[in-house]
Amino acid sequence: MEHEVFLPCDIAAVARALGEPERAARCVPGLRLDPEGDPLAPSGRLRLRIGSSSLTYRGGLTVTPRGEGYAVEAQGHEARGTGSATLLLTVVPRASDDGAGTVLAFGGAVEAKGRIEEFEPEQREAAGRRLLDRFAEALADEVALAAESAADEAAAEGEPPVPGGIGEPDGNERAIPGIPPPPDSAAEPADLDIPPPTLDPGVEEEAPEPEADFARRTMIGRSAEEVDHAPPRGRYAPEPAPGRTSVPVATLRWAAPAAAAAVATAIVVARALRRRR
């Protein structure tokens, strides 16, 4: 039987995948590999569907380079029964005519005994071609996934390391992300407009005048003792006792004008007496 399948993958990547027996075996549909099997000679259980029935074989396979391709030899025994099967297959990858991918050319034969002989040759051939098509599809996915992983690793190697842990090999301080390093002591100070000092030693800053100093201290505020003992004024002043508010206020209001009038009268009388003399 001969069969060809197209893969949208690079021929070199496909050849590398076929050259790894365990990796190629993982692409066989229905094959469950043994966890502790030999990577160079994988073994496991293969469930093969033919028509409306399924056959299960237990065995192993080997992959050997041959010419431009690989030779695959697989042997298995029926899990339920006395039947057996042997597969001799050659796989040759070649670049497609348009250069858009790879073509896998299969060629081989199967020798089987047991329940598989109960099926028609056309059914056995259709099952074999379907198995190769699904294998090629799974192999293309495996190659694409490997290429994506390789690209991610290459991008990760090109990124700068994330700061953390200890700092430079020659430094003793720990590098902590988000915290700026201490300022460089050797850095030059910023340019500031500082007036040059005077050259005359006798000239000093003028001291504030006493009046100005007193006024400044007065405006700043009274002492704590004065603030504590000074009575409040204005609307916040305490109300005086009843009966004592109007008398002193009224007395002060008319006493000052009366005294001024008495002084003026005395002056007029004194001047009149002087004139008579």
Lookup: tokens for 203? 């000239």
Residue 58 falls inside a structural domain = yes
Whether residue 241 lies inside any domain: the answer is no
- Count of structural domains, the chain: 1
| Burial annotation 200-220 (CB, 10 A radius, 16+ → b, else e) | eeeeeeeeeeeeeeeeeeeee
Cβ(29)–Cβ(134) under 8 Å? yes
100 three-state secondary structure: coil
Token pair in block for residue 24: 């190629």
Range of the domain at 63: 2-153
* d(C-alpha 146, C-alpha 148), whole Å: 5
pTM (2 d.p.): 0.55
DSSP character string of 224-240: HHHHHHSPP-GGGSPPP
Q: Is residue 163 part of a domain?
A: no
Strand partners of residue 84: 77, 113
| pLDDT at position 187 | 47
Q: Report yes or no on 264 lying in a domain.
A: no
Domain membership flag for residue 20: yes
Residue 66 β-bridge partners? 69
* pLDDT score recorded for residue 75: 95
Asked whether residue 105 is assigned to any structural domain, the reply reads: yes
Distances (CA, A) of 188 to 176, 180, 195, 197: 26, 19, 19, 22
Look at residue 234 in the predicted model and tell me its pLDDT.
64
Report the alpha-carbon distance of residue 272 to residue 94 in Å, rounded. 151
- Give the pLDDT of the chain (277 residues) as one tens digit per residue: 899 999 999 999 999 999 999 999 999 999 999 998 899 999 999 999 998 899 999 999 999 999 999 999 999 999 988 999 999 999 999 999 888 899 999 999 999 999 999 999 999 999 999 999 999 999 999 999 988 887 777 777 765 554 444 444 455 454 555 556 666 554 454 455 555 555 554 444 455 555 555 555 555 555 554 555 556 666 666 666 555 544 455 555 666 677 778 888 888 788 877 777 6
Q: Are 83 and 77 in contact (CB under 8 A)?
A: yes
Q: Do the domain assignments include residue 57? A: yes
Q: Is residue 183 part of a domain?
A: no
- CATH of residue 91: 3.30.530.20
| Residue written as token pair 């704590």 | 224
